[in-house]
Amino acid sequence: MIHAVMVYAVLTVRLVLAGVFLVSVLTKLRTRRAFGEFTTAVRRLGGLPTPLVAPAAVVVVAVEAGTVVLLAAPGLDGDATAGLVLAGALLLGFAVILARALRRGAAGPCRCFGGSDEPIGLRDVARNGVLVACAAAGVVMTSAGAGASAGTGAAVSPAAAALCLLGASVAVGAVVLLDDLLDLLR
C-alpha cells in the first residue's frame, strides 16, 4: 500500500514539475516580445554583463525544456531521477538569483511565467523553495523504489494516473497564477 502511494506521489510530483517548466518555456517563447521581456528580466535580476544576457536567457529556456523532457520521458533506468534532480537544482538556482536580486533592491517582474507585471518578492523565492522540496521528495521516493513503477507505467492504474494528472494540473495552475491568486486574496 505504501509503495503504491509513493508511486502516485512520484508521478504527481513529476507531472507538477514538468507542467511548471512547460508553461515557463511556452510563455517565454510564445512571442518575440515575450522572450525580449524575459531577456530584460535576466539582465535586471541576474546581474550579468550585457554580452552574456541573451545567451543566458537562451540557455535557461533550453535547460527548462530539457527538464520537461527528462521528467516526461524517464531514462534508461526507468525512473525520472535525472529530471527531478535537474528540476530541483534549476529551481534552487532561480531561488538564489531571486533572493540576491531582492537583496540588491532589484525591482520589476521576473517573467518566469510570461506576462505578470508583479514585481519580484519573497513569494517568488518561497514558490521556488516549495518546488525544490517537491523535487527533493520525488528523488527520495524514487530512491526508495517508487520511481521505477511511476516511470514505466507498471502497476499504475489509468484512473489513478488521471487523478494524479488532475491534481498536478491544479497545482501547476496555482504556481503559474500565484500572483493573481494572491491579488484575489488581498
Strand, helix or coil for residue 146: coil
> What pLDDT does residue 5 have?
85
Q: Identify the residue with better confidence: 92 or 108.
A: 92
> What pLDDT does residue 152 have?
47
Q: Is 17 exposed, middle or buried (0-12, 13-18, 19+ CB in 10 A)?
A: buried
Mean pLDDT to the nearest integer, 112-116: 72
Mean pLDDT to the nearest integer, 119-142: 94
Closest CA to 27 of 60, 72, 51: 60
Q: Identify the residue with better confidence: 61 or 183.
A: 61
User: Mean pLDDT, the chain, as a whole number?
Assistant: 88
Going by the DSSP 8-state scheme, the letter that residue 74 receives in this structure is: -
How does pLDDT run across 4-58, given as a tens digit for each residue? 888 899 999 999 999 999 999 999 999 999 999 999 999 988 888 999 999 999 9
Torsions phi, psi for 116 (to 5 deg): -65, 135
**Domain span at 108:** 2-185
Distance CA 114, CA 38 (A): 8
**What's the pTM?**
0.89
Number of helical (H) and strand (E) elements in the chain, helices listed first: 8, 0
> What pLDDT does residue 147 have?
53
Whether the Cβ atoms of residue 17 and residue 68 lie closer than 8 Å to each other: no
Closest CA to 142 of 9, 17, 2, 46: 9
Instruction: Give the total number of structural domains in the chain.
Output: 1
Distance CA 10, CA 16 (A): 10
Nine-digit cell at 118? 508583479
Residue with C-alpha cell 534549476? 90
Whether the Cβ atoms of residue 25 and residue 68 lie closer than 8 Å to each other: yes
Answer yes or no: is pLDDT of 101 > 90: yes
Distance CA 54, CA 172 (A): 27
